[in-house]
Structure 1
């Protein structure tokens, strides 16, 4: 009997860190989100001195290693390689995807922003991305001017990922994941998942929630995960 289809990136809640300078606060928040069912984390910092950013990134890496939580570094695949993180996420202007793949190697995770463009997702899948991200699905407080993606584009991305699936050593099919981002909350995520998203990437509705663990648990429940 063939093994079930496998994803190249964890299914479920994909937490993206807020731009906090307080590393102790951030580490505590990550622990709470992980306890609630977060399956992967992206470290994303846009402001701060480079030395301070590297110190925080290393602290987050050490925590994720202890938790067994996959860590993706936003924008900077060189930093991801230096930290031996689990992978990197690249936007439109964050470097050549094929160069990042060569540098990181085949065993690291590589994700790419595809905005509202299934054609770009098709190219990134050919470039060996482990996931392609569409968004913003809803108005975003983090990126208020972000382009808006639709549920139809999520469906198109899922079709592309299925088309590019490859045979896994275990005998089933292995495919890239579809990630949805932008304004997603536990209250509005269900239609996005039903349209074909394997993972929902959340910043504010997770890390700014009054109870981070409870918010993570609500998101995990949408994927059929048991509540602890």
Structure 2
């Protein structure tokens, strides 16, 4: 039987903490790839390919190109909601929400070496159920989100509580900007998942680098406790 989670989880992340870029919906492929390349050039070490609007057949060539870009920049590609696509393009793993299937089944399918992240919203019970199967827990919306305006508010106190309870890195998402990011890092976030404030910036690479500077200023060079 496959182990639920590798004990070397931390070593499979390309960096211990930092910016987690999530691609916006609905962009033409060439524009999406150009923006993702800029985010990676600016220092994003996790990139999630998320496009709820594209047809399934159109997603594979984009995912393949993103996987190649991540390899060039020493980053990890995760695929939103599609374990089969993640396997097909050699991605580092998947990110799954509450409607994206059973996390235990996903772990059995992907084995111990691919990353799995779980959206836990503002729900500690979901985090507890997910923890044996995943490599990080995501909470949000930590601030009002233009991408998901109806998302439940997730208090920042969830971040440190989840790390203490489950020994996993935690990701914060929802309405994060350069202005409010320092308080999220201070609350214990290992990863800041950003869509709008990153990909709508006039200079995406500079914006990504600015997020990296926030972690450096916070003394975020130490690995998360696992």
- Could you give the per-residue CA deviations for residues 149-176 of structure 1, whole angstroms, max 9, x where no partner exists? 00111121121233xxxxxxxxxxxxx2
Offset of residue 20 of structure 1:
3.4
Paired residues for 1:128-207 under 5 Å: 129-162=134-167, 176-207=168-199
- Gapped runs of 5+ residues in structure 2? 1-8, 220-226
Give, in whole Å, the separation in 1 of the partners of 2:194 and 2:11.
20
Q: Give the equivalent residue in structure 2 for 1:170.
A: none
The equivalent position to 2:86 in structure 1, one of 55, 65, 80, is 80
**1:208 and 2:200 aligned:** yes
**Alpha-carbon distance, 1:23 to partner:** 1.7
Task: Indicate the residue corresponding to 1:69 in structure 2.
Answer: 75
Contact 2:80–2:94 (8 Å) recurs in 1: yes
CA–CA distance in 2 between the matches of 1:66 and 1:23? 19
Question: How big is each residue's C-alpha offset from its partner over 1:5-25, in whole Å with a ceiling of 9 and x where there is no partner?
Answer: 946644100000011332221
Q: 1:172 maps to what in 2?
A: none
Q: Which runs of 5+ in 1 are unaligned?
A: 163-175
Are the counterparts in 2 of residues 8 and 130 from structure 1 also a CA contact under 8 Å?
no
Runs of 4+ in 1 over 3 A off after TM superposition: 5-10
Q: Which one of the candidate residues 11, 17, 27 is aligned to 2:23? A: 17
Which residue matches 2:6?
none
Using the size of structure 2 for normalisation, the TM-score is 0.87
Q: Distance in 1 between matches of 2:72 and 2:206?
A: 22
1:68 shift after superposition: 2.4
Could you tell me the TM-score, scaled by structure 1's length?
A: 0.86
| Aligned Cα root-mean-square deviation (Å) | 1.8
